[in-house]
Structure 1
Amino acid sequence: MKIGLVRHFKVIHKHDGSWMTSDQFNSWVEAYNNAEIEDTDLEYGLSEWNVCISSDLSRAVQTAEMIYPGSVIVTDQLREIEIQSIHALGNLKLPCQMWMVMGRIAWFFSHSSQAERKNETVDRARHTIEWIEEHYSNRNVLVVSHGAFMKVLTQELFKKGYRGKGLMNPRNGAMYIYEK
């Protein structure tokens, strides 16, 4: 069995480097979640993939529909780990990247500011792999998801005996293959 992980194509929504409050950062994240994606001409060797499963966020669904010729199974279980600002900082203005780092650190330590705790994310990744194995055990499965969640998913794939490349910073549109 092979599982191919693809991070959605690059999102057309940049931060301008300006400093923002926690509310402004949360608005920026919402706009990012609804932004369009760039098209690409990458080749994916689609003949070896029997099924495609995608996160339900529009950037992932659009990517899946661009790279996979068949029907795409859409699920919220492959969503990105939600990121939110730490409201305790009030109207303090920080660069967008600083809010991002602080949000991921808060998630890592299961801080109450984040919608999903780390252990919940790990459980979601583990259950997703178990569901894929249960329903598609004799097939090669293409999965379209998001950078941070893909890192957790990869760790869980390794724990289940899959082999493949470790992920530090998954590139948009790149495919990472795991075999068991």
Structure 2
Amino acid sequence: MKIGLVRHFKVIYKPEYSWMTSDQFNQWVEDYNNSDVSPVGHIGHDPKWEICIASDLFRASKTAEIIYQGQGPIIKTERLREIGMRSINQSEIKLHYKIWIVLSRMAWFFSHKSQEEGRTDTTLRAKQIINWIEDNYMDSNVLVVSHGGIMKSLIQELFKRGYRGKGFIKPDNGRLYIYEK
């Protein structure tokens, strides 16, 4: 069994402004989630993927459609969505959006109530995804198209289960990472 992980293609979206309030940051996250992608670095069809599973967020779904076109249906699921980001509090103070990202990821790491999901929840979700793939597609090569944050949790779970493959700190957009047991 091979599991291929691909992070969605690069998103075509620039914030209107770099400094934003908490509400503006939350709107930026929503706009980013609904933005189009630039299909560069197409991964090709090697090895042959029997199943393609993708996040149902637009950027991952579109990437999966481009990569997997004509090979069969794509299973789209919210379980492969990126780890959500929200501002950590309501504030009219303007911070650079990259600071908001760091603060929300730190809040996620410590399972702060401001975030939709904490680190423990994400780890559990990754286990459930890999369980589902192994239970249903053990004899298949499975392509998973998702997002950088959840991919990090997925590879940690794959490594725990004895899969081999290349690790990453931040996955490249559109690059294929293969894990084999």
- Name the TM-score, length of structure 1 as normaliser: 0.95
CA distance in 2, matches of 1:118, 1:94: 24
| C-alpha distance after superposition, 1:55-84 (max 9, x if no partner) | 010111100010003210111110000001
Structure 1: tracts of 5 or more residues without a match: none
* Structure 2 partner of 1:175: 176
CA distance in 2, matches of 1:47, 1:177: 9
> SS where residue 38 of structure 2 aligns?
coil
Is 1:138 the counterpart of 2:139? The answer is yes
* Structure 2 partner of 1:44: 44
Measured on the aligned residues, the alpha-carbon RMSD in Å equals 1.3
How far off its partner does 1:16 sit? 5.3
Is 1:2 the counterpart of 2:7? The answer is no
CA distance in 2, matches of 1:63, 1:164: 22
CA distance in 1, matches of 2:41, 2:83: 27
The amino acid of 1:146's aligned partner reads H
- Name the TM-score, length of structure 2 as normaliser: 0.95
Is 1:82 the counterpart of 2:84? The answer is yes
Percent identity over paired residues: 57
* Structure 2 partner of 1:53: 53
* Structure 1 partner of 2:11: 11
Contact 2:6 2:145 in 1 (8 A): yes
How far off its partner does 1:140 sit? 0.5
**Stretches of 4+ aligned residues off by more than 2 angstroms:** 15-18, 43-47
Distance change in 2, residues 1:64/1:91 (3 Å) = same
* Structure 1 partner of 2:130: 129
* Structure 2 partner of 1:94: 95
Q: Which of 91-100 and 39-48 deviates more?
A: 39-48
Is 1:22 the counterpart of 2:22? The answer is yes
Distance change in 2, residues 1:21/1:147 (3 Å) = same
Distance change in 2, residues 1:156/1:47 (3 Å) = closer
How far off its partner does 1:168 sit? 0.4
The amino acid of 1:172's aligned partner reads N
> SS where residue 76 of structure 2 aligns?
strand
Q: Which of 77-86 and 35-44 deviates more?
A: 35-44
How far off its partner does 1:40 sit? 2.6
CA distance in 2, matches of 1:177, 1:167: 12
CA distance in 1, matches of 2:168, 2:80: 16
Structure 2: tracts of 5 or more residues without a match: none
* Structure 1 partner of 2:104: 103
Distance change in 2, residues 1:107/1:130 (3 Å) = same
How far off its partner does 1:42 sit? 1.9
Contact 2:7 2:173 in 1 (8 A): yes
> SS where residue 110 of structure 1 aligns?
coil
How far off its partner does 1:45 sit? 2.5
How far off its partner does 1:46 sit? 4.3
Contact 2:3 2:144 in 1 (8 A): yes
How far off its partner does 1:124 sit? 0.5
